[in-house]
Amino acid sequence: MQTIIDEEHIIQHLIADDNSIINGLYHKYKKGCLYSLQQLGADNVAEDIFQEAFLSFVVNVKRGKFRGESKLSTYINTIAKYKFFNHSKKRKPWTEDISELEIVVDENDDTTYDSERIKELTFKLEALDEKCKTLLRSFYFKGMDLKHLSTEMGISYDFIRQKKSRCIKKLKNSMTK
Amino acid sequence: MDDRAIKIHELKEKYFVSDGSIQDKLKLKDIIRDTLRTQEYEEFEYELHIRKALIENEKHHIKSDIRATENTNSTPVRRISIKKLISIAAVFAVVAIGLNSIYNNSSDDYNSGYLAMIEDYQSESLGKLSVRGAAISDSYIDSLKQGIDLSLQEDYTKSKELLRPLLGYGDRHELVNLHLGIDEFMIGNYQGAERNIKILLSSEDDSIREEAEMLLAQLYIKEAADDQAKSLLIKLSETHNHKYAIMAKEILKNKYQ
């Protein structure tokens, strides 16, 4: 029972963007996850895979993608397993396994991302004013609907919709690509 | 907003906000693709990039948080024994050879994957190598390192030339045999590889025996000896604490189910 309470707290902290617990979590899950990875034969890439898995794990929990269907340690180990199979040199053999995983590891869609554009966007997003930053982050990262946001911010739905469009426009105008 | 604009807005909002499965999202994306005109779809793709950038930003911040704390600790020098080094080399070769050979991917995929692994391996392990074992002479270690290097550089013939004379060095010959087995495998001399590997199946050293067993399983698969491969993989998958138990299970699932 203690574990469940602890895990609920962890989830609450992360959803609330409390990053103070992140370092503790990193060390809490590291040993077990590395052991699992080593069992898969991931000896000298295990640390890197764990770090990637940990980042996806935190991001997913923050975004509310973790549905509480397993213990957090199982969840992070599953992500790590997925990442290792993927890392096993993108040679197709493991793709069948990947499709069996019933979890969202990263944002799995078929989009081809333009890495240069992503790079520039990460900088430009940081440079936006706080209101735009919060709005775009709440909608695109947290996945909060505009109706809910309008209530939370005490503004009309139409206004927030227009505000979002203006923020995107502002972002676009600041971009070279 | 007109009806069309409202519909587009609702579809996009549903996509970004919904908590559905991957399949649901892909279906929804197909609907969006069918509904939106080219320029509208480009706008949508731009929004997808925004989301991705926000995720990357978040990861960057989390990484910085971890790194900031890590840097306050003193990092111990990573020490690695020569035995461990060879074991790592073997693991990488086994993974590279094995997975590739099972599924017969294109040689381009294989080469790029293998080279990437060499890069990882050398930067992470060889670069930080601190050899232990006073009983081993420097020339032995040098030859061993060179042999492994050559093998990792895909010069298997030269690697063999360098490693073969080392077979006379007492109990260390097991490590040499393991790597010779890998060299022979890569050259395509499966009988030679099998000879080198089978000697190691009775090794008292778990790490060597486990590497050899997995490599032998890969050999059987390569030679289409499915019954032998399957029975060995079952054995590995059922051996508690075997380094490759899970990998064996995965191969059985993919290849023989």
| Spatial CB neighbours of B115, under 8 Å, sequence gap ≥ 6 | none
Residue B6's alpha-carbon distances to B2, B10, B229, in angstroms, are 6, 6, 59
More confident residue, A145 or B19: A145
| A125 burial level (CB within 10 Å; 0-12, 13-18, 19+) | buried
| Confidence check on the interface: ipTM exceeds 0.90, yes or no | no
| Spatial CB neighbours of B220, under 8 Å, sequence gap ≥ 6 | B226, B228, B229, B232
In this complex, is the C-beta atom of B65 within 8 Å of any C-beta atom belonging to chain A?
yes
pLDDT score of A124: 92
pLDDT score of A109: 63
CA distance A108 to chain B (A): 6
- Residues in B closer than 8 angstroms to A58, CB to CB, are 58, 62
CATH code reported for the domain at B82-256:
1.25.40
Return residues 223-252 of B near A (CB < 8 Å): 243-247, 250
Residue A53's alpha-carbon distances to A5, A104, A135, B137, in angstroms, are 23, 12, 27, 41
What are the beta bridge partners of residue A50?
Answer: none
CA distance B242 to chain A (A): 8
Q: Rounded to whole angstroms, how far apart are CA atoms A66 and A105?
A: 10
- Residues in A closer than 8 angstroms to B109, CB to CB, are 89-91
pLDDT score of B255: 76
Of A51, A108, A122, which is closest to B53 when you measure between CB atoms? A122
In this complex, is the C-beta atom of B27 within 8 Å of any C-beta atom belonging to chain A?
no
Q: Rounded to whole angstroms, how far apart are CA atoms B66 and A51?
A: 10
CA angle B1, B2, B7 (to 5 degrees): 90
Query: What is the token pair recorded at A132?
Result: 């735009």
- Residues in A closer than 8 angstroms to B253, CB to CB, are 97
pLDDT score of B69: 64
Q: What is the pLDDT along chain B (257 residues), one digit of tens a residue?
A: 688 888 998 899 999 987 777 778 888 999 999 999 999 999 999 999 999 999 999 999 898 888 776 655 444 433 334 444 444 444 444 444 443 333 333 333 433 333 343 334 333 332 232 233 333 455 667 777 788 778 767 788 888 888 887 776 555 577 788 888 888 888 888 888 888 888 889 888 887 888 888 888 888 888 888 899 999 999 999 998 888 888 788 778 877 87
B46 contacts A168? CB cut-off 8 A: yes
| B206 burial level (CB within 10 Å; 0-12, 13-18, 19+) | exposed
Task: Delimit the CATH 1.25.40 region(s) of chain B.
Answer: 82-256
Q: Rounded to whole angstroms, how far apart are CA atoms A107 and B16?
A: 11
More confident residue, A81 or A43: A81
Of B21, B55, B243, which is closest to A59 when you measure between CB atoms? B55
Chain A residue closest in CA terms to B253: A97
CA angle B29, B34, B36 (to 5 degrees): 90
Query: Which spans in chain B are helix H?
Result: 3-17, 22-35, 38-70, 82-103, 107-124, 138-152, 156-163, 173-187, 190-199, 206-222, 226-238, 245-256
| B235 burial level (CB within 10 Å; 0-12, 13-18, 19+) | middle
Nearest of A157, A127, A124, A114 to residue A139 by alpha carbon: A157
- Residues in A closer than 8 angstroms to B114, CB to CB, are 89
Sign of the alpha-carbon dihedral angle for B110, B116, B121, B126: positive
Tell me which long-range contacts B167-172 makes (C-beta under 8 A, separation of at least 24): B169/B136, B169/B140, B172/B136, B172/B140
Residue B180's alpha-carbon distances to B10, B24, B199, B218, in angstroms, are 62, 50, 12, 15
Query: Hey, which of A80-89, A161-170, B247-256 has the most confident mean pLDDT?
Result: A161-170
- Residues in B closer than 8 angstroms to A13, CB to CB, are none
CA-based Rg of chain B, rounded to a whole angstrom?
A: 25
- The mean-pLDDT minimum among A41-55, A112-126, B64-78, B102-116 falls in B102-116
| Spatial CB neighbours of B160, under 8 Å, sequence gap ≥ 6 | B180, B183, B184, B187
pLDDT score of A104: 55
Residue A110's alpha-carbon distances to A61, A103, A117, B33, in angstroms, are 22, 16, 17, 12
Q: Which domains does chain A have, with CATH numbers?
A: 2-100 (1.10.1740.10), 115-174 (1.10.10.10)
CA distance B25 to chain A (A): 7
Query: What is the token pair recorded at B182?
Result: 């890998």
- CA-CA-CA-CA torsion for B87, B89, B95, B98, nearest 10 degrees? -90
First CA to last CA distance, chain A: 52
B247 contacts A172? CB cut-off 8 A: no
Query: What is the token pair recorded at A73?
Result: 């340690």
pLDDT score of B172: 59
Q: Rounded to whole angstroms, how far apart are CA atoms A158 and B1?
A: 10
Q: Rounded to whole angstroms, how far apart are CA atoms B157 and A8?
A: 57
Q: Rounded to whole angstroms, how far apart are CA atoms B142 and B124?
A: 19
- For residue A48, the surrounding DSSP H or E stretch is helix A46-62
Q: What is the mean pLDDT of residues A101-120?
A: 73
Among residues of chain A, what percentage have pLDDT more than 70? Answer: 84
| B76 burial level (CB within 10 Å; 0-12, 13-18, 19+) | exposed
Query: Hey, which of A88-102, A141-155, B200-214 has the most confident mean pLDDT?
Result: A141-155
pLDDT at A35 over 80: yes
